[in-house]
Amino acid sequence: MNTGTLTDDHKAMLAMLRDARAMVYRDAESFNEAAAVLEHVGQMLRGVVLSGLNDYQKCICDLAREAPPIHSERVDYLFDTVRRARNDSVHSGDYIRHHSIRLVELLLMLEEGLAMTGKTVGDLMVQNPTVAELWHNVAAARRAMLTNSFSYLPIQGPDGVWKLLSDAEVVRYLRRAGNTKERGELLGKHLRQAIDAGEITLTGCSHCSPDDSIDAIVEAMTHLPVLVVSKNGSEQRLVGILTAFDLL
């Protein structure tokens, strides 16, 4: 890969690799589905559709070696382990969970190989993030947090400014319930109602644009996600999210 900002194809590959890794974290037995992403990445790198994962070994391993060389000697081993496990007739239980660990290690190396070239927020941000909407009920926001292991969800507040809904704030809100019936009523309330009533407080956070440099954002980064927005006059449009986790 050349130095400079990521191409659109490289950004798409990075998003696919992140999604595949998240898939394995949620369900270790989703190995085959996540491993199929490697073949798709190989197709994008080679620019041609070939007959199987093995045909993409060189381009995939070369990309993984773009990462710092601390584990470079494992690249071919990891690829071969994933390839053999994908072709094996055993696709469940401890066997596949064990090989999912190797798959995640390879996915991380590929992500880092791509991310090394990223210079701007737009290169490394998570595009199309999961958001909460004011018309969502609290149950929907809670479900999104639990399903994705999110501590924060972006939400455009009643004032039009993008802020964060925290899991801690949802917990405090729900702990007001004295019984199951009251909890159900709280879960069914729209976020806007709870916010307007002062029952849920949104968290302010930093904003940036896709063209801002990663180095500048890191200097000001806290434990909170940074929301990537584009502006049209006074209106904000959310285009991505960036966290310290995305830059590790």
The confidence score (pLDDT) of residue 45 equals 95
The class that CATH gives domain 126-247 is alpha beta
The confidence score (pLDDT) of residue 2 equals 45
pLDDT at 113 over 90: yes
Biggest CA-to-CA distance, the chain: 60
Mean pLDDT for the stretch of residues 90-117: 86
Question: Is the separation of the CB atoms in 150 and 130 below 8 Å?
Answer: yes
What is the pLDDT of the chain when averaged over all its residues? 91
Mean pLDDT for the stretch of residues 159-181: 97
The confidence score (pLDDT) of residue 181 equals 96
Mean pLDDT for the stretch of residues 219-246: 90
Residue 168's closest CA among 184, 152, 144? 152
Mean pLDDT for the stretch of residues 169-192: 97
Q: Which residue has the higher pLDDT, 88 or 210?
A: 210
Question: Is the separation of the CB atoms in 108 and 21 below 8 Å?
Answer: yes
Tell me which of 71-75, 110-114, 167-171, 181-185 is least confident.
71-75
Q: What is the tens place of the pLDDT at every residue in 56-93?
A: 999 999 999 998 877 778 999 999 999 998 887 556 66
pLDDT at 1 over 70: no
Q: Which residue has the higher pLDDT, 117 or 200?
A: 200
Of the pLDDT bands very low, low, confident and very high (cuts 50, 70, 90), residue 3 is: very low
pLDDT at 173 over 80: yes
pLDDT at 22 over 60: yes
Instruction: Name the residue ranges covered by the structural domains of the chain.
Output: 8-118, 126-247
Report which residue type is found at 180.
T
The confidence score (pLDDT) of residue 97 equals 81
3-class SS at 150? coil
The confidence score (pLDDT) of residue 239 equals 96
Mean pLDDT for the stretch of residues 111-123: 92
Of the pLDDT bands very low, low, confident and very high (cuts 50, 70, 90), residue 234 is: confident
pLDDT at 176 over 50: yes
Percent of the chain with pLDDT over 70: 96
**Taking the CA atoms of the chain, what radius of gyration do you get in angstroms?**
21
pLDDT at 4 over 80: no
Which DSSP string corresponds to 21-86? HHHHHH-TT-HHHHHHHHHHHHHHHHTS--SSGGGGHHHHHHHHTTS-GGGGGGHHHHHHHHHHHH
